[in-house]
C-alpha cells in the first residue's frame, strides 16, 4: 500500500480523536438514563437514540473537515459511492450498544480512516471508562497517551483468551495448552484493544463482524505488536462491497500462529 505523508495521517488522527470524544460526550448524556431503543436486522440488533446522536456528531464533524472522504457507519444507510473513494471514514458511534442500554460501561466510539482498503488512523474512545486508544500508520499504539504493547506468551501459564464458549471449546488444546477463558466483553472493538494493551492474550471473533467493528481496533492492535486475521492468516481488507467478515482471530504476533493452527475447526462456525 502506498504510504502518504505521516503528517497527513497525524492530522486525521487528531480529527478522529476530537470527533470521537465529542460523540462520546454526547452519548454520555443518555447513558444510564433509559434512552429510547429500536431494533433492526429483524429484531436482532438494538440501536438507541444515543447511537443516532453520536453518529450525527461524527458525520457532521468528520465530513465537514474532509468532504472528499467517503463514509461508512453502522448507523447510516450504506452509500455505494464509498467504493470509488480511495479514503473514507469507517465508524461505529457506539460499539457495544447492548452494554450501553443496560448501563454497563464496556462500550466505545470507534472511528477510523481507511485508505486503499487499509486503516491508517484509528481511535477508540470509551468515555464511561475514561479511556482513549489512538494510533496511525507507522506510529505507536497509545492508551491515554501512553504506549501499549501486546502480551508475550507466559512460561507455563494459561493463555487468557476471549471468545464464545462454544468456540473456545473447539480449539486444539494440544497446540495452545491451558486456556483461561475471559468473561464476555460486549464491545468487540474494546476487546481487541484489550489484546493490544496486554490485558488478554487473544480473542476469537464470530462470523458477521463488520468493518465498523474492526477497522480502528485492527490498526491499534497492529501497532501494538499483534494482528487481526482470518483463519488462513490473511490480513483484512476494508471498504469492499461486502463489509461483513468470516471467523477471525487476534493475538500478539509471538503466538498468533499457534492460535491460527488451533482454530482450524472453527471455519464453519
Q: What is the CATH number of the domain that holds 14?
A: 3.30.540.10
The grid coordinates of residue 238 equal 476494508
Confirm if 206 and 244 have CB atoms less than 8 A apart.
Answer: no
Kind and range of the H or E element at 85? none
Domain range enclosing 123: 6-147
| Angstrom distances, CA of residue 4 to CA of 1, 26, 140, 230 | 9, 32, 17, 26
Q: Could you tell me if 187 and 140 lie in one domain?
A: no
Q: Answer whether residue 195 is part of any domain.
A: yes
Which of 147, 168, 186 finishes a domain? 147
Closest CA to 210 of 74, 85, 100, 76: 74
Kind and range of the H or E element at 103? none
The grid coordinates of residue 65 equal 473537515
Q: Could you tell me if 182 and 210 lie in one domain?
A: yes
Q: Kindly report the CATH number assigned to the domain that includes residue 229.
A: 3.40.190.80
Q: Could you tell me if 135 and 249 lie in one domain?
A: no
Q: Could you tell me if 81 and 180 lie in one domain?
A: no
- Do the bridges between strand 37-40 and strand 179-182 make them parallel or antiparallel, or are there none, so unpaired? unpaired
CA atoms of 83 and 90, how far apart (whole Å):
12
Which of 92, 114, 147 finishes a domain? 147
Q: Could you tell me if 139 and 55 lie in one domain?
A: yes
DSSP 19-60: HHHHHHHHHHTTTTS---EEEETTTTEEEEHHHHHHHHHHHH
Which of 147, 169, 187 finishes a domain? 147
Q: Could you tell me if 22 and 79 lie in one domain?
A: yes
The grid coordinates of residue 189 equal 472493538
The total domain count for the chain is: 2
Q: Could you tell me if 166 and 142 lie in one domain?
A: no
CA atoms of 101 and 121, how far apart (whole Å):
28
pLDDT in tens, the chain (269 residues): 444 444 679 999 999 999 999 999 999 999 999 999 998 766 578 999 999 999 999 999 999 999 999 999 999 999 999 999 999 999 999 999 999 999 999 999 999 999 999 999 999 999 999 999 999 999 999 999 999 999 987 655 789 999 999 999 999 888 888 899 999 999 999 999 999 999 999 999 999 999 999 999 999 999 999 999 999 999 999 999 999 999 999 999 998 999 999 998 787 65
Q: Is 4 left (phi over 0), alpha (psi -120 to 50) or beta?
A: beta
Q: Answer whether residue 154 is part of any domain.
A: no
Q: Could you tell me if 13 and 141 lie in one domain?
A: yes
Q: Answer whether residue 185 is part of any domain.
A: yes
Amino acid at each position: 500500500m502506498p504510504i502518504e505523508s505521516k503528517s497527513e495521517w497525524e492530522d486525521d488522527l487528531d480529527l478522529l480523536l476530537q470527533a470521537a470524544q465529542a460523540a462520546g460526550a454526547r452519548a454520555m448524556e443518555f447513558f444510564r438514563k433509559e434512552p429510547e431503543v429500536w431494533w433492526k436486522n429483524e429484531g436482532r440488533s438494538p440501536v438507541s437514540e444515543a447511537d443516532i446522536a453520536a453518529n450525527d456528531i461524527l458525520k457532521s464533524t468528520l465530513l465537514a473537515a474532509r468532504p472528499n472522504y467517503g463514509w461508512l457507519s453502522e448507523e447510516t444507510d450504506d452509500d455505494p459511492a464509498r467504493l470509488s473513494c480511495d479514503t473514507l471514514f469507517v465508524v461505529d458511534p457506539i460499539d457495544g450498544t447492548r452494554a450501553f442500554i443496560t448501563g454497563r460501561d464496556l462500550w466505545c466510539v470507534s472511528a477510523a480512516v481507511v485508505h486503499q482498503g487499509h486503516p491508517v488512523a484509528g481511535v477508540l474512545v470509551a468515555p464511561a471508562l475514561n479511556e482513549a486508544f489512538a494510533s496511525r500508520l507507522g506510529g505507536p499504539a497509545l492508551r491515554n497517551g501512553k504506549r501499549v504493547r501486546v502480551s508475550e506468551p507466559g512460561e507455563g501459564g494459561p493463555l487468557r483468551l476471549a471468545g464464545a464458549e462454544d468456540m473456545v471449546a473447539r480449539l486444539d488444546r494440544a497446540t495452545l495448552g491451558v486456556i483461561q477463558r475471559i468473561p464476555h466483553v460486549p464491545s468487540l472493538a474494546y476487546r481487541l484493544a484489550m489484546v493490544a494493551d496486554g490485558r488478554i492474550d487473544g480473542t476469537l471473533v464470530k462470523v458477521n463482524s463488520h468493518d465498523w467493528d474492526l477497522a480502528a481496533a485492527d490498526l491499534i492492535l497492529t501497532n501494538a505488536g499483534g494482528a487481526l486475521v482470518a483463519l488462513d492468516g490473511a490480513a483484512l481488507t476494508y471498504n469492499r462491497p461486502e463489509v461483513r467478515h468470516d471467523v477471525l482471530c487476534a493475538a500478539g504476533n509471538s503466538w498468533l500462529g499457534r492460535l491460527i493452527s488451533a482454530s482450524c475447526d472453527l471455519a464453519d462456525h
